[in-house]
Amino acid sequence: MCAMDRSQIMVYSQSEIINHLEDLLSISSSQSFVRDAQGELIYLSPPFERTVLNGNELNIWFSSIPVNVRVDLFNAELNSLSGMGPFVFKNVKSIGCLLTILIECISVNNVKFVRWVFFLESTNFLSLGDEYFRASVEIDDIFCMRKI
């Protein structure tokens, strides 16, 4: 029996894996960030910075989430790394927005990372423009729906 030729085995350093992961995620339009198994921030997507952070520092933004929800989010992250999940949290309130948060474990070359993906929930309706409002009033008048 001969020993396996180690020159054929590809070994990636963690920084090489992170670079590949950043390249892969940079093409995504999702509002997300990625942390490694030690809790270090590895990647922060530009859409997340623009839309969710909206000029705030990450730690200030995160501290705006209620403490009990933050604890649940971190527990979900740990459970994801343990092979459970993914986890979805709805109606998470943060600075100026309401979010749904997906937390899942991703593995690249047997190195585990946790991806947090954020979906903005609509909290207000679009207002009708003046011309649509006037048309609505006229229709109400035609059908005698509006009281004068």
Kindly state the average pLDDT of the residues 12-29: 56
Long-range contacts, stretch 95-99, CB < 8 angstroms, 24+ apart? 95/54, 95/56, 95/60, 95/61, 95/64, 96/54, 97/52, 97/121, 97/123, 98/123, 99/52
- Name the residue among 56, 51, 55, 19 with its Cα closest to residue 34: 19
Residue 56 lies in a domain: yes
> Could you tell me the residue range of the domain that residue 58 belongs to?
11-123
3-state secondary structure of 54: coil
**Is residue 141 domain-resident?**
no
> 134 in a domain, yes or no?
no
Residue 3: predicted pLDDT: 53
What distance in Å separates the CA atoms of residue 98 and residue 69, rounded to the nearest whole number? 13
Domain CATH for 28: 3.30.450.20
In a domain, 137, yes or no: no
Is residue 97 domain-resident?
A: yes
User: How many structural domains does the chain have?
Assistant: 1
Highest mean pLDDT among 40-49, 72-81, 116-125: 72-81
- Asked whether residue 130 is domain-assigned, the answer is no
Taking residues 23-28, what's their average pLDDT? 54
